[in-house]
Structure 1
Amino acid sequence: MAAKDLFHTAVKIALQKENWVITDDPLRLEVGGTKFEIDLGAESLLAAERQGQKIGVEIKSFLGESPLTDYHAALGQFLNYRLALEISQPDRTLYLAIPVRTYESFFQREFAQLSVERYQIKRLIYDPINEVITQWIE
C-alpha cells in the first residue's frame, strides 16, 4: 500500500464538510496489468449542483525542497491516474489537491499556469490547517 500524504486526513475532512461521501480510501484501480492507488474516491450525493458526481482526488503536500520537482512528480502521477480512470471509470473526474500556500506561491507562476492549462489539470485547493477546500478549479 502506498504511503498516505501528510495532508490526507485534512483533505478528506474538507471534502466531507462539503457533503462529499468518501467511497474509497484509497481508490484502487487495475488497468492494463498495472495497479494504481489514487488517494481518495468520493461522490457528491447532497449538493444539487453536483448531484451524483464522482471524483478521484490525488493529494499532494508540496513540502519538498523544490516545488518544481514536487510538481514534476505530481504531474506524471496525475496524468497516469487520469488515463487509468478514463479507461476503467470514465464517469469519475480526477482532481489534484494542492495546499493553498503552494497554490498562492508556485501555482501563480506563469510556467505553472501554462502547464496546468496545457494538461487540463483540475485542481482542488485546500487549507490543511482549517481542513477546508478554498477553491475548485476546472
Structure 2
Amino acid sequence: MPQRDAIHNIIRQALIKEGWEITDDPYVISYGERFLFIDLAASLDAVSGIAGRFIGAKRGSSRIAVEIKEFRGTSAIADLEQAIGQYVLYRLLLEQVDPDRELYLAIADTTFDGIFSEPIGELVMRELPMKLLIVDVAEQEVKQWIPPLKNGTL
C-alpha cells in the first residue's frame, strides 16, 4: 500500500466535519490482476442536511472517492503531472467498477492558491475537467468544492 500524504488525516477530518461518513481508507480498486489505492471513500447521510464535500466517503446515495495530493516535491509541474495521471487513471477505473462514485482530488488551499491559480492549473481544471476539494489545512475545514456542489448534493 502506498505511503499516505502528510495531510491525509486533515482531509479526512475536514470531510467528517462536513457530515461525510468515511467508508474506505483506502478505497481499493481491483481491475484485472491489479489493485490500486485511492486515499479515501466516503458517503454523506442525505437526511443530515449538511452540504457535503468528499474524500472517499458517502452521504445518502452520494458517494465519493478522494485522492489526496500534497504537492511537496521540488517541482510543482512534476507534482501536477503526477496528480493528473493518477486522477485520469482512477477516473477511468471508477467508470468501470463503481460508476456512481464521484472522484475528487483533495489539495491544500495553499496548493490551490499556487499552481492551480496559475494559467496552467486553470487550463487543467477547465479542459479535463478535474474535480477539486480544497481544504484549509490550518482549520481542517473544507474551503471549496470545484465544481461547486449543488444544494449540498452531487
TM-score by shorter chain over 0.5: yes
TM range (shorter): over 0.9
Q: Which runs of 5+ in 2 are unaligned?
A: 53-59, 148-154
CA distance in 1 between counterparts of 2:99 and 2:137 reads 29
Q: Which runs of 5+ in 1 are unaligned?
A: none
Aligned to 2:18: 18
- Aligned counterparts, 1:68-83, within 5 A: 68-83=77-92
Displacement of 1:48 after TM fit? Answer: 6.2
CA distance in 2 between counterparts of 1:48 and 1:108 reads 28
Name the TM-score, length of structure 2 as normaliser: 0.85
CA distance in 2 between counterparts of 1:58 and 1:34 reads 18
CA distance in 1 between counterparts of 2:12 and 2:2 reads 17
Cα distance 1:34–1:114, how it changes in 2: closer, same or farther (>3 A)? same
Name the TM-score, length of structure 1 as normaliser: 0.95
Displacement of 1:123 after TM fit? Answer: 0.2
> Larger deviation: 48-57 or 15-24?
48-57
Aligned to 1:100: 109
Q: SS of the counterpart of 2:114?
A: helix
Aligned residues: 138
Q: SS of the counterpart of 1:4?
A: coil
Give structure 1 regions of 4+ aligned residues with deviation exceeding 6 angstroms: none
Q: Does 1:36 align with 2:36?
A: yes
Aligned to 1:66: 75
User: Aligned AA for 1:41?
Assistant: A
Displacement of 1:117 after TM fit? Answer: 1.3
Cα distance 1:28–1:114, how it changes in 2: closer, same or farther (>3 A)? same
